């Protein structure tokens, strides 16, 4: 045996795909597209709220409506103002049947009214979102169990 034995409790291995994927490989174009279109939820709603002040909401909704795939992650963790909910509804209405959107949440559909507030808006929003969607429910233990 060479060297010394150094037992470790955990192992972390980071491999950069940049060094392994050829420059002309189609995955690079896909990665660039995905990087461009994936957005976190909080900055999106901040931008929506800020757009109210300078009256640029319509431009923001138009821009986000054209994004090829919009991913909104962890929907339901934020406290939203009614104005933000209204702009979100307008955005989803613009994207309806035109562009795909991916929404991840721990909320059941019945809980969306508590999160977004306006019962009639939530009903209309869910009607559009669920019309041509696939709902994937993941049950099981959390992957983020306390360590220690």
pLDDT in tens, 77-102: 777 888 888 888 999 999 999 999 88
pLDDT, greater one: 134 or 79:
134
Which domains, from first to last, does the chain contain? 38-131 (3.40.50.300)
CB 92 within 8 A of CB 125: yes
Residue 1: per-residue pLDDT: 46
Per-residue pLDDT band for 143 (boundaries 50, 70, 90) equals low
E-strand ranges in the chain read 70-75, 101-105
Is the full-model pTM beyond 0.75? no
Q: What angle do CA 7, 144, 100 make, to 5 degrees?
A: 125
pLDDT in tens, 46-76: 777 777 677 778 888 888 899 888 888 878 7
> Distance (Å, rounded) from C-alpha 101 to C-alpha 138?
19
């Amino acid at each position: 045996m060479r060297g010394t034995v150094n037992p470790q409790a955990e192992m972390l291995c980071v491999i950069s795909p940049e060094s392994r994927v050829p420059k002309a490989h189609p995955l690079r174009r896909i990665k660039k597209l995905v990087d461009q279109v994936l957005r976190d939820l909080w900055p999106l709603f901040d931008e929506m709220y800020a757009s109210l002040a300078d009256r640029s909401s319509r431009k923001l909704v138009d821009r986000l409506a054209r994004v090829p795939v919009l991913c909104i992650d962890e929907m339901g963790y934020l406290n939203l103002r009614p104005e933000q909910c209204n702009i979100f509804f307008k955005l989803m209405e613009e994207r309806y049947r035109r562009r795909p959107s991916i929404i991840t949440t721990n909320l059941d559909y019945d809980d969306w009214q508590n999160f977004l507030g306006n019962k009639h808006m939530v009903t209309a929003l869910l009607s559009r979102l669920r019309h041509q969607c696939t709902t994937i429910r993941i049950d099981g233990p959390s992957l983020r169990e306390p360590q220690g």
